[in-house]
Structure 1
């Protein structure tokens, strides 16, 4: 499938990749395997600078991105930001644990610099946010270098029932770096692909329902969706104010934890963050315990209809958890509320999207549509690029709602959706006295034009998203030795540290992840 449209990345080529895809600038670190701790140690000892690291990543984006389409824009200020970081380090004024570390942002996370914030839509190329998103200010305060914006499924996969995961008009088709004709899943597709392929050390994604954990699962990365309110939504192009949250994608749990600690915190402009205060006691080191699973009650959920590879990898994961001293509670399942939940969730999300994206567009400076109706009209006028692969039926259904969050019918739908999700997930955790629930995150990545295969997996991502509970996925193995498969740990609201600790213990007891091979197709 060929990408339609798409904006060129400043400083990169748009043609075929160079013949040698594996030559990096002369560095003492492996960009496919390095961790934030590795890089900090190298920079502290003077073996590496943030500038050299940033330039190496920009060069790698130049070579690999025409193939992977993971990055939509690179930050023209990144080299200067990295030089400033090096100067601060030399002067003994390092700002935080991410000093000098290049981080990519999903292209719905706003920045008040020379990068656009488009949510994948060419309609927003003229938008100019007048302030960084709150989490971006937190990243900068921790010393991170904002490297650029990552591709995403357009409008966070809320444009059409027939959307193609990882495709946007501004970025083209993101591809799974393990097997290029396989889906990267969505909607934080580019963030996951970039981290997996070594185009960035870490990235920020956003999730409304599965959009962090699903792309992480199919790219052998760690994706963490925190408790709703732990990370501010301020400055992010919204889908739903009742479900949206941002979270880190990284190659290790430790790196994801470092980024999470940097971006979390109360935002005066986002009142939900005040209720989540105190959700991360201490620092990341307090939860990164290889013995964190010992004595924990872990519910094992085996969805019906798993493919043989996912079933085999998951059973190996369960045995690993057992070997780490967990008390396994077998055959835990969630109540079958799928049909009822969807009946309430869809009208709630449609109403919230019209209201929330309308408010965002109206408040954002620049030349762009100022409401959802204007976006729909823009897409019709530019149908050759925006609507070349699929339509905008979901946008049109959202536009037909009142967009009124005070409407009693809307409120009944939203309250019912939350009640069902909490009864399903929190009720299961309480009934079995579980610390965490473990379950397969997703199956092997389907073909780009194939179905998502979300059937057996959808309940956990949906319930965690609607209820607001923390959910992390960790690489667990490979289907056929090639396609990544992840395992999820889900906990109670506010239990982010516990969930991360269990994921870390599981990760540390297993083999290291295998970097992607960029196979054109499976044999």
Structure 2
């Protein structure tokens, strides 16, 4: 299983004053924050201060999650400006004044670098917003800061330790501090689980939104490719990369998606994308009359199986008809996907690096590789860069082998994979466990996980994939995946919302030193 997809913090937090009356933000939804601000019970400055104080107390102290890599020094100023707009009678929408965290491979125009976790990009102060960030600002969001991640979105090595970066260190799972937060959007996952922001943005190439969401007890949504712009995002693969929302509820994720999704002239994949409200269609009745295909992967533990069976019972109670589905054999998919990712990594990263400020001296993948070798004690203390080195040897986007691999991987994952299963079983959606429970963070051997994974087919096909909490398995969160065909984003969100509202399976983290084995086995609480 591969999920490809602390600068200035101390100085910034020193300036944070603790408010006289503490604003509660733990497990508070976007709607609740908005209602409080609308009623005059609080304002964006107070909410932003509360999140900053919580980060100071818990991310670099206390549990020491290391989920936030940099804070925006202008966050309070942004919040004050949005409060002034509210007092003047202008409210931009449901995100007005709401603090959001952004994964640190996504550019923001604030006074923070976009590092992708690498020291090679520590001077990457671009002064520009990625289009998705510009959309969020237009919707009134406060850009609170940037989240830590698996360095280079977990594409540098097949032996990586998910959640580690040279810039930010190792992200820790708030449910069990010795366990992985998964990658590559590990910081976004841990931060939102710990209520360091109302929600966050992650990115996924294969698993990097849905894995950290599942393992941190969150809702994570990987949309149809092209729904959200990828411009000014440090890339891996234009065939598979996409940003996605990560939140504590389906509604909050849909609110974020509604603000981020839209056309962007610099990303051709978004040419047909329309701005729409993904919240309006959410309904508790969305499961009624639905036919849903059930995939039971091999390798499930008994605790995961119990959680999955309980989730299926919720779907049935909501009115869904469940049909058992056997996935087809898709020989060669993994190899084809890997060649695509390696080839596009070289081409797309070289293109991106050429646009960075002159202060960034690594302008090509080859130069990044050389930088890592020259700075090995800091950049490669635990694992190497063999995937980077393999990518550097690929033949380019016109290479017939690459083109054949992309055609094969797209066909196997889409037409012969997800679409074939939907058609054969005459179902609307597919469900399966997203991943198993979090594994131990291991700097010696790297990621040690051999359980089920739902990410590959929708990632390669570019189809929508939603994970929603199923509760705890031996004290650790596990998620339910809902997968549809291309463009079925609203349908997937609707079904996930209806399940979530019936299951009420999210359990807040307790910041245990290790997994609380036995917790969560008595049923969804």
* Superposed pair shares fold, TM > 0.5: yes
Question: Structure 1, residues 316-361: CA drift from partner, whole Å, max 9, x if none?
Answer: 000010000001112x122122x51112111111110000000000
Query: Which piece of structure 1 moves more, 428-437 or 251-260?
Result: 428-437
Match of 1:70 among 67, 75, 83: 67
Question: Structure 1, residues 177-213: CA drift from partner, whole Å, max 9, x if none?
Answer: 0000010010000001000001111000000000000
Q: 1:366 offset after TM fit, Å?
A: 3.4
* 3-state SS of 1:430 partner: helix
* 3-state SS of 1:424 partner: helix
CA distance in structure 2 between the partners assigned to 1:95 and 1:249 by the alignment: 21
Q: Tell me the residue number matched to 1:367.
A: 359
Question: Structure 1, residues 32-59: CA drift from partner, whole Å, max 9, x if none?
Answer: 2110000000000000110000011111
C-alpha contact (below 8 Å) 2:8/2:71 kept by paired residues: no
Match of 1:304 among 295, 298, 302: 298
Q: Tell me the residue number matched to 1:193.
A: 190
Indicate whether 1:55 and 2:16 are aligned: no
CA distance in structure 2 between the partners assigned to 1:522 and 1:190 by the alignment: 19
* 3-state SS of 1:62 partner: helix
Indicate whether 1:244 and 2:238 are aligned: no
C-alpha contact (below 8 Å) 2:160/2:446 kept by paired residues: no
Indicate whether 1:502 and 2:495 are aligned: yes
Match of 2:512 among 508, 512, 519: 519
Match of 1:441 among 434, 441, 451: 434
Q: Tell me the residue number matched to 2:523.
A: none
Q: Tell me the residue number matched to 2:476.
A: 483
Indicate whether 1:211 and 2:208 are aligned: yes
Q: Tell me the residue number matched to 1:3.
A: none
TM-score by length of 2: 0.93
* 3-state SS of 2:117 partner: coil
**Pairing 1:198-277 to 2, within 5 Å after superposition:** 198-275=195-272, 277=273
Q: Tell me the residue number matched to 1:349.
A: 341
CA distance in structure 2 between the partners assigned to 1:172 and 1:268 by the alignment: 36
Which runs of 5 or more residues in structure 1 are unaligned? 1-5, 15-22
CA distance in structure 2 between the partners assigned to 1:355 and 1:325 by the alignment: 47
Q: 1:286 offset after TM fit, Å?
A: 2.4
CA distance in structure 1 between the partners assigned to 2:84 and 2:13 by the alignment: 31
TM-score by length of 1: 0.93
Query: Which piece of structure 1 moves more, 190-199 or 87-96?
Result: 87-96
C-alpha contact (below 8 Å) 1:443/1:453 kept by paired residues: no
* 3-state SS of 1:457 partner: coil
Q: 1:77 offset after TM fit, Å?
A: 0.4
C-alpha contact (below 8 Å) 2:417/2:457 kept by paired residues: yes
Q: Tell me the residue number matched to 2:160.
A: 163
CA distance in structure 1 between the partners assigned to 2:425 and 2:142 by the alignment: 44
Match of 1:101 among 98, 101, 120: 98
CA distance in structure 2 between the partners assigned to 1:111 and 1:522 by the alignment: 36
CA distance in structure 2 between the partners assigned to 1:117 and 1:366 by the alignment: 14
Q: 1:511 offset after TM fit, Å?
A: 2.7
CA distance in structure 2 between the partners assigned to 1:260 and 1:413 by the alignment: 31
Question: Structure 1, residues 89-117: CA drift from partner, whole Å, max 9, x if none?
Answer: 11111122210000000000011221100
* 3-state SS of 1:149 partner: strand
CA distance in structure 1 between the partners assigned to 2:224 and 2:279 by the alignment: 19
CA distance in structure 1 between the partners assigned to 2:347 and 2:341 by the alignment: 10
**Equivalent residues, number:** 501
Question: Structure 1, residues 4-58: CA drift from partner, whole Å, max 9, x if none?
Answer: xx645243679xxxxxxxx9973453x2211000000000000011000001111
Which runs of 5 or more residues in structure 2 are unaligned? 1-5, 517-525
Mark the CA change 1:453 to 1:333 in structure 2 (over 3 Å): closer, same or farther: farther
C-alpha contact (below 8 Å) 1:51/1:79 kept by paired residues: yes
Match of 2:400 among 408, 425, 444: 408
CA distance in structure 2 between the partners assigned to 1:189 and 1:24 by the alignment: 29
Indicate whether 1:457 and 2:452 are aligned: yes
CA distance in structure 2 between the partners assigned to 1:244 and 1:441 by the alignment: 19
Q: 1:158 offset after TM fit, Å?
A: 0.3
Q: Tell me the residue number matched to 2:85.
A: 88
Indicate whether 1:11 and 2:11 are aligned: yes
C-alpha contact (below 8 Å) 2:162/2:446 kept by paired residues: no
Indicate whether 1:385 and 2:385 are aligned: no
* 3-state SS of 1:80 partner: helix
C-alpha contact (below 8 Å) 1:11/1:62 kept by paired residues: no
C-alpha contact (below 8 Å) 2:175/2:515 kept by paired residues: no
* 3-state SS of 1:446 partner: coil
CA distance in structure 2 between the partners assigned to 1:25 and 1:342 by the alignment: 55
